[in-house]
Structure 1
């Protein structure tokens, strides 16, 4: 019998570490891989696993995320499936906004009363991975779990940024520590596969993916008023004797928490054999835009991904992602960059008006050089512009762009005039 599951995707907090990409949108709404949004990843994993009842909890900068979900995920009238939004709300019982991951789910539980379910699958909205959640749910049921946490082996460098746990031979978690300091790590190694050991990945990190029995979660919320799963509820559940299991996953998974990690995850997609496989039998679902195929004229292209509706006349594009509706004029070079594209096409009247005002059109102008950069949507890049990121650059925030982790991020709708050099 198929398990009865409700999936909850956490819409994320302010996303300050992904600024300026999160200046006008929430983390799960950030475009990834040229044509998707981050939230498409957990939703697609749910649908590919056979779980089609999904709630997305939103709070900060949620307008574009709400619009994307509304325009993307439609089920026929004979299906019980849905992807619905639960926006943070004040009530007579609680006047506070979400204070953390656990508090977000706690405040939303009253909306789940109308559904019949036995298990709650809780997911983050800002991670890149492919996982069959059916296998995780089956593991949870077969081992009599109250709570199951998806875990992944990590190395000592990464371990200090995650919740680290130890489990016994029966995969029961015996101890948990949130973001341990480096001096504590020697006591937190775990038994992992030989392949993971050879890579120096000796620590089991929580992936922020949880399965709860319905009754167990409700009881925990009554007993524990903590705001966060990783900091509060999970450690307390282990100490209070709940059967908390580790479901060890060894596939590709990355937490899109910073500009650096976001950029590298996207750049890896352009490699010949990327770690994340978009070309699989488990599709990533997203909004169908009915755009024309991309057109490329006279360009040298190597290890690049083009989304739909692009017009490319560049001299050279290498190791780069080119998003929907991108226009790049002749003589320009783009290397190791992510150009997110545009939300709309400009017509001839728009272009004439821009010319009269001395404003570049949306896209990349003539004879530009762009390297180690992210161009957010609807950027107006003039002619002879140079944008070159480098690891030696200090972080900073400016009117038209920010510098994070050596990557230059041109802000959404920014206007970069002819001849500009950044930095």
Structure 2
């Protein structure tokens, strides 16, 4: 059994503009998902479960929520110096400017590569929902003698304009890499389909360092992996594609290839709604590949009757810890932690984040309630979209997004 030093770098600086208003006060990786998790928890869990324990998380836009989450839930002890998860905010070490692209984010922190001198570097995004055994991709990279490996999955050609696409030979060596083109190379034998980059890469450490330095000196470059680094490497290095569908995660043998881009309100909503089904495509209860997050000390969930004896009920729903359901009905919904649904209220097909309050008699359907949202007694949301648009954000397909209140930060008193 071979032991290979791998440095994990997570690109977690995405704005997530298409997810607005959920990204109004946070970056996309910090957006809550599936009740108690954050989007960034998926890539972090994949790294940890794959045996990658040396991780830098590069942040940039609206990073406070993400930094707080990493502090609350993703800290190792300081006993082993080669096991760490360290957030790295943009520091402008190479000039007075933000990161200009995905590769520039790493170039501006190239000192981290120089200090670690890793044999391999796993560069992954933090924007998607999936499970992946990264060690299998690392083994494939070594087996092929690759200098760079790109995780790929087949998508309809009609969707290619949002992704990097590529042409490969019979051995899956990449012959061409095209970023966000409307005319991608197709997959032989699969008309209408192409290979899309997942934005997840494994590089040989020295090759990555050399390529970052070369690209940084190119004034015509946009300093992006998809637009600049990978097309260049295709012609000058050994670059392979790794088929995501060959990746087997323990406990997920029946659900190979689950991957969701939750970059729009519609995609985010539908991915959450799928979780409440009897056999969801993403199994949150897989103990062989645990999904980790920050844990909070809250009480257990309880269902109680109101003064008239109406029992709090939930059907086909996910209810996280600390919730109180009092004489209400929750149907086909996903509730985060410490949600209080009061007497006579009804929730239907709704995503509710932590610490929300739904007042007595309120009715909410096909909606997303951001953290700390308060729904007044008797309020109706999702029934008259014209009225909803006067107060809330309504997506193109009629999903209502209710913004929450800012969280208060408790302060320790000073005794005088």
Same fold (TM over 0.5): yes
- The 2-side partners of 1:35 and 1:191 are apart by 42
Give the Å deviation of 1:12: 2.6
Counterpart secondary structure, 1:85: strand
- C-alpha spacing 1:102/1:88, structure 2 compared with 1 (3 Å): same
Distance of 1:397 and 1:89 partners within structure 2: 40
Query: What secondary structure does 1:160 align onto?
Result: helix
- 1:379 and 1:413 in contact (8 A); partners too: yes
Name the residue aligned to 1:269: 275
Within 5 Å, which residues of 2 pair with 1:342-361? 342=355
Q: Report the alpha carbon displacement of residue 37 of structure 1 after superposing the two structures with TM.
A: 0.8
| TM-score normalised over the length of structure 1 | 0.85
Q: Deviations over 1:213-267 (max 9, x none)?
A: 11111111122233211112111221x3211100001210112211111111111
Partner SS, residue 41 of structure 1:
helix
Matched, 1:410 2:410: no
Deviates more, 1:68-77 or 1:53-62: 68-77
Relative to structure 1, is the Cα distance of residues 19 and 314 closer, same or farther in structure 2, using a 3 angstrom cutoff?
farther
Contact 1:341 1:363 in 2 (8 A): no
Aligned to 1:417: none
- Matching residue within 336, 342, 350 for 2:349: 336
Alignment CA distance shift 1:201-1:323 (3 Å): farther
Q: How do 1:357-376 and structure 2 match up within 5 A? A: 363-376=357-370
- SS across alignment from 1:317: strand
CA-CA distance at 1:74 after TM superposition? 2.4
Confirm or deny: 8 A CA contact 1:314 1:333 kept in the other structure. Answer: no
Query: In structure 2, do the counterparts of structure 1 residues 95 and 276 end up closer, same or farther at CA, with 3 Å as the change threshold?
Result: same
Task: Deviation per CA, 1:358-382: give whole Å up to 9, x if none.
Answer: xxxx500011111111000111111
CA contact (8 A) 1:153 1:201 kept: no
1:100 aligns with 101
Match of 1:207 in 2: 198
Contact 2:23 2:31 in 1 (8 A): yes
Secondary structure at the counterpart of residue 316 of structure 2: strand
Q: Secondary structure at the match of 1:212?
A: strand
> Conserved in 2, the CA contact under 8 Å of 1:72 and 1:286?
yes
Aligned to 2:308: none
RMSD: 1.9
Q: Would the aligned equivalents of 1:389 and 1:408 in 2 still touch at CA under 8 Å?
A: no
Match of 1:37 in 2: 38
Q: Which residue of 2 aligns with 1:141?
A: 142
- Please tell me whether the aligned partners of residues 176 and 235 of structure 1 are also in contact (alpha carbons under 8 angstroms): yes
| Alignment partners' CA distance in 1, 2:174 and 2:56 | 28
Q: SS at 2:135's partner residue? A: helix
Please list, as runs of the form range in 1=range in 2, the aligned pairs for 1:120-131 lying within 5 A after superposition.
120-131=121-132
Structure 1: which 5+ runs fail to align?
343-361, 415-423
Across the two proteins, how many residue pairs are aligned to each other?
379
Residue 248 (structure 1) aligned with residue 243 (structure 2): yes
| Alpha-carbon distance in structure 1 between the residues aligned to 2:265 and 2:327 | 26
Please give the alpha-carbon distance, in whole angstroms, between the structure 2 residues aligned to 1:293 and 1:201: 49
Q: Deviations over 1:40-66 (max 9, x none)?
A: 110000000010111110111111111
**TM-score, normalised on structure 2?**
0.87
Seen in structure 2, the aligned counterparts of structure 1 residues 270 and 408 have a Cα distance that, compared at 3 Å, is: same
Task: Sort the Cα spacing of 1:201 and 1:337 in 2 relative to 1 into closer, same or farther, 3 A.
Answer: farther
Counterparts of 1:392-407 in structure 2 under 5 Å? 401-405=392-396, 406-407=398-399
Residue 378 of structure 2: aligned partner: 384
- Measure, in 1, the Cα distance between the counterparts of 2:312 and 2:186: 50
Conserved? CA contact 1:12–1:126, under 8 Å: no
Structure 2 equivalent of residue 16 of structure 1: 17
Query: Per the alignment, in what secondary structure is the counterpart of residue 233 of structure 2?
Result: helix
Counterpart in the other structure of 2:207: 216
- The CA deviation string for residues 158-181 of structure 1, in whole angstroms up to 9 with x for no partner, is 223211111111110111222222
**Contact between 1:6 and 1:119, CA under 8 Å: does it hold in 2?**
yes
The equivalent residue for 1:287 is: 294
Quote the offset at 1:14 in angstroms.
2.1
**Aligned counterpart for 2:334 among listed residues 318, 321, 325:** 321
Residue number in structure 2 paired with 1:85 = 87
- C-alpha displacement of 1:203: 1.3
